[in-house]
Structure 1
Amino acid sequence: MYDKMLNRTHKTHLRICKDWSVQATVSCILSESFGSSNVSIVAEEDIQNLSKAKAGGVLETVVKTVNECLAEAPRYGLKGPKMALGTTEVLEAINRCNSIGGPAGRFWALDPVDGTLGFVRGDQYAIALALIEDGEVVLGVLGCPNYPMRKEWLNYHHRYHRIISKLTPSTSESWDKGCVIYARRGSGEAWMQPLLHVNKNLVWPNSARPVRVSSIDNPSLATFCEPVEKANSSHSFTAGLAHSVGLRKQPLRVYSMVKYAAIARGDAEIFMKFARAGYKEKIWDHAAGVVIIQEAGGVVTDAGGCPLDFSKGIYLEGLDRGVIASAGANLHDKIIRAVDASWDSSAL
Structure 2
Amino acid sequence: MPISFPNLANQILSPHALSRISTEINFNHHHRVAIFPSILQINLRSRSVNNHTSRRNCNQAIFAAATEDCSDTLEFESMELEKYAEELEVAAKAVHMACLLCQRVQESLLSKSSDQVQSKDDNSPVTVADWSVQATVSWVLSQAFGIQNVSIIAEEDVQALSENDAFGLLEVVTKTVNESLSEAPRFGLRAPPSPLSTSEVLEAISKCNSTGGPNGRFWVLDPVDGTLGFVRGDQYAIALALIEHGEPVLGVLGCPNYPMKKEWLSYHNSYRRIISRLTSETSESWDKGCVIYARKRSGRAWMQPLLHKGKTFVWPNSAREIKVSTIDNPSLATFCEPVEKANSSHSFTAGLAHSVGLRNQPLRVYSMVKYAAIARGDAEIFMKFARAGYKEKIWDHAAGVVIIQEAGGVVTDAGGHPLCFSKGMYLEGLDRGIIACSGATLHEKIIGAVDASWNSSSL
Within-5 A mapping of 1:292-331: 292-331=403-442
Q: Distance in 1 between the 2:314 and 2:204 partners? A: 28
- Amino acid across the alignment from 2:373: A
Cα pair 1:115 1:124 within 8 Å, conserved: yes
1:49 to 160, 166, 178: 160
State yes or no: 1:61 paired with 2:61: no
- Amino acid across the alignment from 1:212: K
How far apart are residue 201 of structure 1 and its match?
A: 5.6
- Amino acid across the alignment from 2:415: G
Cα pair 1:146 1:175 within 8 Å, conserved: no
How far apart are residue 58 of structure 1 and its match?
A: 1.3
How far apart are residue 121 of structure 1 and its match?
A: 0.4
- Amino acid across the alignment from 1:99: S
Within-5 A mapping of 1:265-284: 265-284=376-395
| Secondary structure of 1:331's aligned partner | helix
Structure 2 residue runs of 5 or longer lacking an equivalent are: 1-111, 120-124
1:174 alignment partner in structure 2: 286
Q: Percent identity?
A: 76
- Amino acid across the alignment from 2:113: N
Q: Distance in 2 between the 1:206 and 1:88 partners? A: 34
1:212 to 323, 336, 360: 323
How far apart are residue 63 of structure 1 and its match?
A: 1.0
State yes or no: 1:233 paired with 2:344: yes
Query: Could you give the per-residue CA deviations for residues 297-347 of structure 1, whole angstroms, max 9, x where no partner exists?
Result: 000000000000000000000001111000000000000000011111111
Q: Distance in 1 between the 2:292 and 2:184 partners? A: 18
Cα pair 2:116 2:169 within 8 Å, conserved: no
| Secondary structure of 2:113's aligned partner | helix
Cα pair 2:237 2:254 within 8 Å, conserved: yes
How far apart are residue 206 of structure 1 and its match?
A: 3.1
1:250 to 361, 370, 373: 361
User: Normalising by structure 1, what TM-score?
Assistant: 0.93
User: Normalising by structure 2, what TM-score?
Assistant: 0.71
Q: Distance in 2 between the 1:252 and 1:74 partners? A: 38
2:226 alignment partner in structure 1: 115
Structure 1 residue runs of 5 or longer lacking an equivalent are: 1-5
Cα pair 2:116 2:127 within 8 Å, conserved: no
How far apart are residue 168 of structure 1 and its match?
A: 6.2
Q: Distance in 2 between the 1:195 and 1:26 partners? A: 17
- Equivalent pairs, count: 342
Change (3 A) 1:173 1:305: farther
Change (3 A) 1:199 1:89: closer
Query: Could you give the per-residue CA deviations for residues 195-225 of structure 1, whole angstroms, max 9, x where no partner exists?
Result: 1236826735231111110111111111100
How far apart are residue 17 of structure 1 and its match?
A: 1.6
Change (3 A) 1:213 1:308: same
Within-5 A mapping of 1:76-95: 76-95=187-206
Query: Could you give the per-residue CA deviations for residues 69-94 of structure 1, whole angstroms, max 9, x where no partner exists?
Result: 00011112222212211122212211
1:150 alignment partner in structure 2: 261
State yes or no: 1:7 paired with 2:113: yes
Cα pair 1:75 1:204 within 8 Å, conserved: no
Larger Rg: 2
Please give the root-mean-square deviation of Cα atoms over the aligned residues, in Å. Answer: 2.0
- Amino acid across the alignment from 1:265: R
Cα pair 1:212 1:265 within 8 Å, conserved: yes
How far apart are residue 114 of structure 1 and its match?
A: 0.2
Q: Which region of structure 1 is more displaced relative to structure 2, 27-36 or 15-24?
A: 15-24
| Secondary structure of 1:207's aligned partner | coil
2:445 to 315, 318, 334: 334
Q: Distance in 2 between the 1:145 and 1:290 partners? A: 19
Cα pair 1:149 1:173 within 8 Å, conserved: no
Q: Distance in 1 between the 2:305 and 2:168 partners? A: 33
| Secondary structure of 1:206's aligned partner | coil
| Secondary structure of 1:205's aligned partner | coil
| Secondary structure of 1:325's aligned partner | strand
| Secondary structure of 1:57's aligned partner | helix
Q: Distance in 2 between the 1:175 and 1:236 partners? A: 35
Query: Could you give the per-residue CA deviations for residues 28-66 of structure 1, whole angstroms, max 9, x where no partner exists?
Result: 000110000111111111122321165441111111111
Q: Distance in 1 between the 2:430 and 2:115 partners? A: 36
Within-5 A mapping of 1:19-34: 19-34=130-145
Cα pair 1:161 1:175 within 8 Å, conserved: no
